[in-house]
Chain A
Amino acid sequence: MQSPEVLNNVESLRYLMPEIFLSVSIIALLLLSFFRREGSSDIRFFYLSAICVITVAIFLELFTYAGGQAVTIFYGMLRQDAFSHLFKLICLAATFLFLVFAFTSRETTGRSLRSMEYILLIMANTLGMLFLVSSANLLMLYLSLELLSFTSYILTGFVERDDKATEAAVKYLLYGGIASGVMAYGLSLLYGITGSLDYFVIYNYLSSNAVSQSLLYVSVIFVLAGFGYKIAAFPFHLWCPDVYEGSPTPFTAFLSVGPKAAGIAMAFRFFYGILLSHEGGEVLDISGGIEWPILIAIMSAFTMTIGNLAALQQVNMKRLLAYSSIAHAGYMLMALASHTRFGINAAFFYLVVYLVMNLGAFLIVIIVYDEYHTDTIDGYDGLAWRGRQGAFLASMFTVYLFSLTGIPPFAGFIGKFYLLLSVFKQGSSLYWLAVVAIVNTVISLYYYARIVKLMFFSSGRKGIPHPAGGAGRYFQYAVLTCLTLATVILGIYWAPLDNFGKIAAGFID
Chain B
Amino acid sequence: MPEFIGEHILTLIIFIPLFGALALLAVPGERHEFIRRASFAVTLVPLVLSVFIFMNFDRGASGFVSGEGLQFVEKYSWIEQFSMNYFVGIDGLSVSMVMLCALICPVCILASWNIDKGVKGYFFLFLLLETGMMGVFCALDFFLFFIFWEVMLLPMYFLIGIWGGPRKEYAAIKFFLYTLVGSVMMLLVIIYFYLTLHTFDMTELVASGSSLNYRMLCWWALFIAFAIKIPLFPFHTWLPDAHVEAPTAVSVVLAAILLKMGTYGILRINYTMLPDITLQMATAMAVFGMINIIYGALCAMAQRDLKKLVAYSSISHMGYVMLGMASFTAEGLNGAVFQMFNHGIITAMLFLIVGVIYDRAHHREIDSFGGLASAMPNYAAVTFLAFFAALGLPGLNSFISEVLVLIGAFQKYRLITAVSATGVIITAAYCLWTLQRIFLGKLDEKYSMLSDMNTRETLSLLPLALLVVILGVYPHPVLNLMQSALGFINGIILKGGI
State which of A64-72, A235-243, A401-409 sits at the interface with chain B. A401-409
B147-A408 in contact (CB<8A) = yes
Chain B residues with Cβ below 8 Å from A498 are 79, 81
A449 to B81, CA, bound (A): 32
Of residues 434 to 460 in A, which have CB atoms within 8 Å of B's CB atoms?
A: 434-435, 438, 441-442, 445-446, 449-450, 453, 456-458
B177 at the binding interface (Cβ < 8 Å): yes
Closest chain-B Cβ to A210's Cβ sits at a distance in Å of: 34
Q: Which of A222-230, A261-269, A369-377, A418-426 participates in binding chain B? A: A418-426
Closest residue on chain B to residue A441 by CB atoms: B184
Q: Which of B7-15, B187-195, B202-210 contacts A (4 or more CB under 8 A)?
A: B187-195
Q: Is there a chain A Cβ closer than 8 Å to B181's Cβ?
A: yes
Given A420-B191, A445-B176, A456-B158 in contact, is the A438-B185 Cβ separation under 8 Å? yes
A434 to B81, CA, bound (A): 22
Of all chain A residues, which has the CB nearest B147? A408
A417 at the binding interface (Cβ < 8 Å): yes
Is B80 an interface position by the 8 A CB rule?
yes
Cβ of A402 to closest chain B Cβ, rounded Å: 7
Q: Does any Cβ of B come within 8 Å of A413's Cβ? A: yes
Verify A421–B153 contact, CB threshold 8 A: no
Task: Contact check, A453 vs B147: say whether CB atoms are below 8 A apart.
Answer: no
Closest CB of chain B to A429's CB: distance in Å? Answer: 14
Stretch at the interface among B43-51, B52-60, B165-173, B433-441: B165-173
Q: Is the CB of B169 within 8 A of A407?
A: no
Q: Are A445 and B185 in contact (CB under 8 A)?
A: no
Complex interface: chain A residues within 8 A of B177 (CB): 442, 445-446
> Is A31 an interface residue when CB atoms closer than 8 A count as contact?
no
A424 lies within 8 A of B180 (CB) = no
Min distance, Cβ B134 to any Cβ of chain A, angstroms: 15
- Complex CA gap A237/B150 in Å reads 32
In the complex, whether A471 has a CB less than 8 A from a CB of chain B is no
A421 x B191 contact (CB < 8 A): yes
Knowing A424-B191, A442-B184, A445-B176 touch, does A453 contact B161 (C-beta < 8 A)?
yes
CB distance from A418 to the nearest CB of B (A): 10
Cβ of B358 within 8 Å of any chain A Cβ, yes or no, is no
Q: Would A457 and B168 count as touching, CB distance under 8 A?
A: yes
The residue that A417 contacts in the complex, of B80, B172, B176, B191, with Cβ under 8 A, is: B191
Question: How far is the CB of B448 from the nearest CB of chain A, in Å?
Answer: 35
Task: A469 to B154: give the CA distance in the assembly, Å.
Answer: 30
The listed residue (B78, B81, B162, B194) touching A457 by CB distance below 8 A is B162
Give chain A nearest CB distance to B83 CB in angstroms.
Answer: 12
B146 to A438, Cβ gap below 8 A? no
**Across-interface contacts of A457 in B (CB, < 8 A):** 161-162, 168-169, 172
- Does any Cβ of B come within 8 Å of A468's Cβ? no
When the two chains form the complex, which single residue of A391, A438, A458 contacts B187, counting CB atoms closer than 8 Å? A438
Q: Which residues of A contact B161 (CB under 8 A)?
A: 453, 456-457
A493 close to B (CB within 8 Å): yes
Q: How far is the CA of A402 from the CA of B157 in the complex (A)?
A: 12
A21 proximity list for chain B (CB < 8 A): none
Contacting pair A442 B180 (CB below 8 A): yes
Instruction: Answer yes or no: B469 CB below 8 A from chain A CBs.
Output: no
User: Given A424-B191, A456-B162, are A438 and B173 also a contact pair (CB < 8 Å)?
Assistant: no
Beta-carbon contact of B195 and A420 below 8 Å: no
Q: Does A494 contact B (CB under 8 A)?
A: yes
Cβ-defined contact, A446 with B185, below 8 A: no
Provide the bound-state CA to CA distance between A502 and B81, in Å: 10
Residues of chain A contacted by B147 (CB below 8 angstroms): 408-409
Question: Which DSSP category, helix, strand, loop or mixed, fits chain A's interface?
Answer: helix
A177 to B154, CA, bound (A): 45
Q: Say which residue of B79, B146, B169 sits within 8 Å of A495 (CB atoms).
A: B79
Q: Is the CB of A409 within 8 A of B151?
A: yes
Digit string of A458-501 for contact with B (CB within 8 Å is 1, else 0)? 10000000000000000000000000000000000111001100
Which size class do B's interface residues fall under? 20 to 34
Q: Which of B124-150 contact A (CB under 8 A)?
A: 146-147, 150
| Beta-carbon nearest neighbor of A439 in chain B | B184
Residues of A within 8 A of B80 (CB): 495
Contacts A409-B147, A449-B173, A457-B169; A424 near B195 (Cβ below 8 A): yes
Q: Is the CB of B153 within 8 A of A407?
A: yes
Using known A-B contacts A438-B188, A446-B173, A453-B172, determine if residue A425 contacts B151 with beta carbons closer than 8 Å.
no
State whether A435 and B188 are in contact (beta carbons under 8 Å apart), knowing that A409-B151, A421-B195 are contacts in the complex.
Answer: yes
**Complexed CA–CA distance, A155 and B299 (Å):** 62
Contacts of B146 in A (CB 8 A): 408
- List chain A residues, Cβ under 8 A from B158: 456
Q: Complex: how many Å from CA A127 to CA B315?
A: 62
Query: Is the CB–CB distance between A420 and B81 below 8 Å?
Result: no
A434 to B195, CA, bound (A): 14
Interface residues of B in 4-53 (CB under 8 A from A): none
- Bound CA span A425–B154, Å: 30
> Do residues B172 and A445 form an inter-chain contact, with CB atoms below 8 A?
no
From B150, B188, B192, B194, contact of A413 by CB (8 A) = B150
Q: Which partner residue on chain A sits nearest B158 by CB separation?
A: A456
Task: Identify which of B121, B154, B184, B194 contacts A438 (C-beta below 8 A).
Answer: B184
Question: Which residues does chain B contribute within 8 Å of A420, judged by CB atoms?
Answer: 187-188, 191
Q: How far is the CA of A248 from the CA of B378 in the complex (A)?
A: 65
A residues within 8 A CB of B192?
A: 424
Name the distance in Å between A487's Cβ and chain B's nearest Cβ: 13
Distance between Cα atoms of A446 and B153 in the complex (Å): 14
Contact B151 A408, beta carbon cutoff 8 Å: yes
CB-CB nearest in chain B for A445: B180
Tell me the smallest distance from the CB of A100 to a CB of chain B, in Å: 26
How near does chain A come to B170, taking the closest CB pair, in angstroms?
10
User: What separation, in Å, do the CA atoms of A453 and B79 have in the docked complex?
Assistant: 34
- Complex interface: chain B residues within 8 A of A446 (CB): 173, 177
- Contact of A449 with B176 in the complex, beta carbons under 8 Å: yes
CA distance A446 to B178 in the complex (A): 11
Q: Inside 8 A of A409's CB, which chain B residues have their CB? A: 147, 150-151
- From A417, A453, A499, B169 is in contact (CB under 8 Å) with A453
Report chain A residues within 8 Å CB of B151. Answer: 408-409
CB distance from B277 to the nearest CB of A (A): 19
Q: Which of A391, A450, A453, A493 has the most CB of B within 10 A?
A: A453
Chain B residues within an 8 Å CB radius of A493:
78-79
Please, which residues of chain A bring their CB within 8 A of the CB of B185?
A: 438
By beta carbon, the residue of chain A nearest B146 is A408
CB contact list, B74-92 vs A, under 8 A: 78-81
Chain A residues with CB under 8 Å of B195's CB are: 421, 424-425
Interface hits, A185-244 → B, CB 8 Å:
none
Q: Give the contacting residue for A434; candidates B79, B176, B188; CB below 8 A.
A: B188
Q: Which residue of B lies closest to A498 (CB)?
A: B81
Residues of B within 8 A of A391 (CB): 121
Residues of B within 8 A of A450 (CB): 173
15 contacts between A and B (CB under 8 A): A402-B154, A407-B154, A408-B146, A413-B150, A421-B195, A424-B191, A425-B195, A434-B188, A438-B185, A445-B177, A445-B180, A449-B173, A457-B161, A457-B162, A494-B79
Beyond A438-B185, A450-B173: 14 further Cβ-contacts under 8 Å? A408-B146, A408-B147, A409-B147, A420-B187, A421-B191, A421-B195, A435-B188, A445-B180, A446-B173, A446-B177, A449-B176, A456-B158, A458-B169, A493-B79
Closest 3 pairs between A and B when the two form their complex, measured CB to CB: A408-B150, A438-B184, A408-B147
